[in-house]
Chain A
């Protein structure tokens, strides 16, 4: 009996060694190559922001990004939530500026490549995005008239060297904005069109400077990319570029049975789209319907691509022009986030609903129905080993 067992064991080993399938099929290799960072194209110019690639604008933008003076209480800057040593995010389930917001801070690597901004895409350019938190009462809680005065006082000379002469702000109220509190809104209404136009222009240029800085924040090469390059070239991976059997299984599941790559595709692991994946709402937060409500907001934004502050021509406005304005799938749809670096930045989802990657994988396997709208996710049988393998693979995108 033991002889037979030995024989069978030996035969099994030989089978595995001699006739075992290769690690990845040609189709899988093509998919893996499409995820590698070396396929990321060069960053395109942003014709809507003619200062996007002006070094002095990026330098001013960097100053503003880290300047706590850019807030009502003098304690909040962009970097309060977008922390430079934390992938430009804050590790919190919901961002905290002057108050607690209802959304998770997004990391910034590769942000200039997004067609839409925020989890729900309520802004359509990086520079228009940068303006929204400045006036959000829970974030910087400022107002555009105060920002214009602040720029003149602190950075007037730097501003004018980049953007040209500042408007006459001598008669502009200290605090005024169409989005502010009652007094600020009243002050805004009392301003002349020339005054309001001048303030809006300075405000737009603040966004354009910050965007110019943010364009430099790009994703870095990871262990996965080194593995993928070797796989494509046929070179034997050495050192940390070699994947463990568990990591290989995780990658196979990610691009195969797990269907993760359906949305998390391309070198940034995102389709830049919005999907309802049945992520539950957080108790005690205001009603949040994701993309469904963002459509009207981006259309109403005076700093959107159709607005007066866009540089260049309207041919850059395709995303806004051809966006889906009404469809059932917009309900509770949120942006597909990049997975690069995700393993080291819990919690996950648009309001930090899940505290670990294991919880995320469990959510997608279970595929519970959405509280509103229809989840695009279908239930999936995944063994404990497969779940662990998916997590092991995701970690290679952070190493």
Chain B
């Protein structure tokens, strides 16, 4: 019986040692690669505009149609008016496009455009691409939205 206790003690010791090693490995291991760029405001690809996006009602709800606001400014900060905007995107990880065809449906002033008909049907990284054509020229911008 006494020998069993010895084994038990030895087992506990070994377990503690292993836990320690595992902890060191875990703590010193490089943490996962940086996630996608989730900035909600950025310069367009060729630097013609500064674009910003936000869900119109503040939160993104998975599986529901909702609208976003796209704000377009020149690099100098002036609102971009009369822009033609087309929306595309999808999930690069799953090789599929958006489940809906969102459209710019309204101009709200001060460079703000309402983008209606967005729906994110699953969690993961979604890409939203806006092709923008205005007096200053044509440009595009891609945002990542993580659900």
Contacts and interface: CB of A to CB of B under 8 A. Distances in A.
Interface of A: 6-7, 10-11, 13-15, 18-19, 262-263, 265-266, 271-275, 318-319, 321-325, 327, 329, 374, 376
A325 B97 contact: no
B14 A11 contact: yes
Given A7-B11, A15-B18, A272-B63, A265 B100 contact: no
Contacts of A275: 96
A272 B101 CA distance: 15
Contacts of B62: 265-266
Nearest to A264: B122
Contacts of A376: 94-96
A80 to B, nearest CB: 32
B65 to A, nearest CB: 4
A273 B97 CA distance: 12
Contacts of B11: 7, 10-11, 13-14
Interface in B35-67: 62-63, 65
23 contacts: A6-B7, A10-B7, A11-B15, A13-B11, A14-B11, A14-B15, A18-B12, A19-B18, A263-B122, A265-B121, A265-B123, A271-B122, A272-B63, A274-B99, A275-B96, A318-B116, A319-B65, A322-B100, A322-B102, A322-B103, A322-B116, A323-B101, A376-B96
B97 A324 contact: yes
A265 B94 CA distance: 15
Contact of B100 (A262, A263, A271, A323): A323
B134 interface: no
Given A19-B18, A262-B94, A323-B100, 5 more contacts: A11-B10, A14-B15, A19-B15, A265-B62, A266-B63
Main secondary structure of the interface of B (DSSP, over half): mixed
- Which size bracket describes the interface of B in this complex? 20 to 34
A238 to B, nearest CB: 30
Closest 4 CB pairs of A and B: A322-B117, A271-B121, A11-B11, A322-B100
Contact of A10 (B8, B95, B119, B123): B8
B98 interface: yes
A14 B14 CA distance: 9
Contacts of A14: 8, 11-12, 14-15
A323 B100 CA distance: 5
A373 to B, nearest CB: 11
Interface of B: 7-8, 10-12, 14-15, 18-19, 22, 62-63, 65, 94-103, 116-117, 119, 121-124
Contact of B15 (A15, A265, A272, A329): A15
Nearest to A10: B11
A265 B64 CA distance: 13
Contacts of B95: 374, 376
Contact of A273 (B15, B18, B22, B121): B121
Nearest to B87: A322
A273 B91 CA distance: 14
Contact of A329 (B10, B97, B122, B124): B97
Given A262-B122, A265-B122, A266-B63, A322 B15 contact: no
A232 B122 CA distance: 21
Nearest to B117: A322
Contacts of A18: 12, 15, 19
A275 B99 CA distance: 10
Given A10-B8, A262-B94, A266-B63, A272 B14 contact: no
A324 to B, nearest CB: 5
